[in-house]
Chains A and B, each alone.
Chain A
Amino acid sequence: MIEIRNLHKSFGEKVVINDVSAVMEAGKANLIIGSSGSGKTVFIKCLVGLFEPDRGEVLYNGVSFTTMEDEQRKELRQKIGMLFQGSALFDSLTVQQNVMFPLNMFTSLSYSEKLKKVNEVLERVNLKDANKKFPAEISGGMKKRVGIARAIVLNPKYLFCDEPNSGLDPQTSLVIDKLIYEITKEFNITTIINTHDMNSVMEIGDHIIYMYQGDKEWEGSNKEIIYSRNEKLNDFIFASEFLKDVKEMRTREAEGK
């Protein structure tokens, strides 16, 4: 579980995260949604320590990450996996070497044991035949899957995904969403996903936080979001023409017409 207490971050005069508090539970897909520039990425980067918040606390299972010593942080980070927007695979390493990298760095397993583990996770993300390929030789969707494989190879307790669907077609997005969701349930991981993809929201959003200009504007689940009366949230989720029709239908229903 991750607890966020009054997290605040600004860059110069611009406030990017404004006293946000939330609880992200284990075994759930916790989605941070909001339009571009709403502070989602900065929020997620504050949670993993890539940005230092100005004030507020981030507690991992009750232990404050913000006030931790460097060594403690290093230990905790080995329990964190992260899928980056651009996958952030190491260009000069093959798929197999990319996934094996955390094992090489943090375990004393033999090469055959590491290889077995790598093959297991690659199989888990449905990517068996790409071991010897370099990141430049595989598609965007495959890169994301390799990114997920690398993030879960050390059996993390926390999984962060920064816009996992960006640059992917709707079908591949669905596959990635399902994969992240299954892994979350399978390993009881606290997963935090930063997205503005409404399909993901409806598909896997166990717990959703809507951010608007650095503020937490709404919190709920995918069952509740569609019935929300929050105007800003509605403007966001019903932005597409198709969903505008849904909104109008819903309004007519509510008015009994």
Chain B
Amino acid sequence: MTFFNHFGRYLLMIKGMISKPENWKMYWKELMHQCYDIGIGSLGIVVIVAIFIGAVSTLQTAYQLVSNLIPRSTIAQIVRDTVILEFAPTITCIVLAGVVGSKIASELGNMRVSEQIDALEIMGINTKAYLIMPKILASFLMIPVLVVIAGVLGIWGGRLAGTLSGILAPEEFETGLLGGFLPYNVVFALYKAYTFAFIISSIPAYFGYYVQGGALEIGKASTTAVVTSCIMILFADYILAALLL
């Protein structure tokens, strides 16, 4: 299949999931279930990644700032802005593309090959709406929250690393943290989070929903979904930076 075939079918999938739910209560239940899976299920890895990224960026920024003319608090400013602008949204979402994306692709792929999707279709359920839409909505709800958590913990990790290594005192870090803060950076990070949330949920859903074959194909679909999502995140990251900064 060519790129255009895939893209056309992807757009049709998105169009197909917009319909009136057969039962609002069941859709709500599915949405909550997905929120839990995507949000709570990925929280652990997001926390770990965010703290270490913040910590490492403090150490590496300090390593590169060798001039005595630059105040130490600048380290905190650099850590804050790189965490908010890039690390929290982009790195977190690349990690989530692996965690959430592979889960979505393999879950839908397994449902497809074991005819569970056909069973739902036979019952008269719009499977695109019932299976894919809640995943995308849940990603819209939970991924920005995870990005904000990652941002906060990244900065906290940076502060902790600065203190533990003796690079800069907590007071110096806080001075830098508050200096020259642009609230727009947070808004920009959220734009990224929403864009990436759509990529992380819809692309793996596409590869999982249309899988054909057996266990091997589910694995392949899952890998393709993660790789494609990561590439699309990086591409969207560049486009957003070029357009909005």
Interfacial residues, chain A to chain B (CB-CB below 8 A): 48-50, 73-78, 80-82, 84-86, 88-91, 101-102, 104-106, 160
**Assuming A105-B26, A106-B22, is B123 touching A50 (CB within 8 A)?**
no
Judge whether A73 and B124 touch: CB under 8 Å: yes
Judge whether A50 and B121 touch: CB under 8 Å: yes
Judge whether B123 and A104 touch: CB under 8 Å: no
**Assuming A73-B124, A105-B26, A106-B124, is B114 touching A50 (CB within 8 A)?**
no
Q: Which of A75, A80, A101 contacts B122 (CB 8 A)?
A: A80
B56 to chain A, nearest CB (A): 38
Query: What are the nearest 3 A-B pairs in CB distance?
Result: A77-B124, A88-B115, A88-B119
Q: Which of B115, B124, B125, B126 contacts A75 (CB 8 A)?
A: B124
Residues in chain B near residue A91, CB distance under 8 A: 110, 114, 116
- Residue B174 at the A interface, CB < 8 A? no
> Which residue of chain A has the shortest Cβ distance to B126 in the bound complex?
A74
In the assembly, what is the distance between CA of A104 and CA of B25, in Å?
A: 9
Judge whether A74 and B124 touch: CB under 8 Å: yes
Judge whether B119 and A78 touch: CB under 8 Å: no
Q: Which of A85, A102, A160 contacts B123 (CB 8 A)?
A: A102
Judge whether A88 and B116 touch: CB under 8 Å: yes
- Residue B171 at the A interface, CB < 8 A? no
> Which of chain B's residues 13-42 have a Cβ closer than 8 Å to chain A?
22-23, 25-26
B31 to chain A, nearest CB (A): 15
Judge whether B116 and A90 touch: CB under 8 Å: yes
B21 to chain A, nearest CB (A): 10
Residues in chain B near residue A77, CB distance under 8 A: 121-124
> Which residue of chain B has the shortest Cβ distance to A48 in the bound complex?
B122
Judge whether B118 and A106 touch: CB under 8 Å: no
> Which residue of chain B has the shortest Cβ distance to A108 in the bound complex?
B23
In the assembly, what is the distance between CA of A15 and CA of B22, in Å?
A: 36
Residues in chain A near residue B110, CB distance under 8 A: 91
Could you give, for residues 117-133 of chain B, a 1 whenever the CB lies within 8 Å of some chain A CB and a 0 otherwise? 01101111110000000
Judge whether A82 and B122 touch: CB under 8 Å: yes
> Which residue of chain B has the shortest Cβ distance to A160 in the bound complex?
B122
Could you give, for residues 61-86 of chain B, a 1 whenever the CB lies within 8 Å of some chain A CB and a 0 otherwise? 00000000000000000000000000
**Assuming A73-B124, A105-B123, is B118 touching A50 (CB within 8 A)?**
yes
A240 to chain B, nearest CB (A): 29
In the assembly, what is the distance between CA of A69 and CA of B22, in Å?
A: 16
A21 to chain B, nearest CB (A): 23
Judge whether B22 and A86 touch: CB under 8 Å: no
Judge whether A82 and B124 touch: CB under 8 Å: no
A105 to chain B, nearest CB (A): 5
In the assembly, what is the distance between CA of A101 and CA of B130, in Å?
A: 13
In the assembly, what is the distance between CA of A78 and CA of B124, in Å?
A: 6
Judge whether A104 and B26 touch: CB under 8 Å: yes
Residues in chain A near residue B118, CB distance under 8 A: 50, 82, 84, 88
Judge whether B114 and A88 touch: CB under 8 Å: yes
In the assembly, what is the distance between CA of A75 and CA of B22, in Å?
A: 10
In the assembly, what is the distance between CA of A184 and CA of B125, in Å?
A: 24
12 A–B contacts from the bound complex (CB under 8 Å): A50-B121, A81-B122, A82-B119, A89-B116, A91-B110, A91-B116, A104-B23, A104-B26, A105-B22, A105-B125, A106-B124, A160-B122
A52 to chain B, nearest CB (A): 13
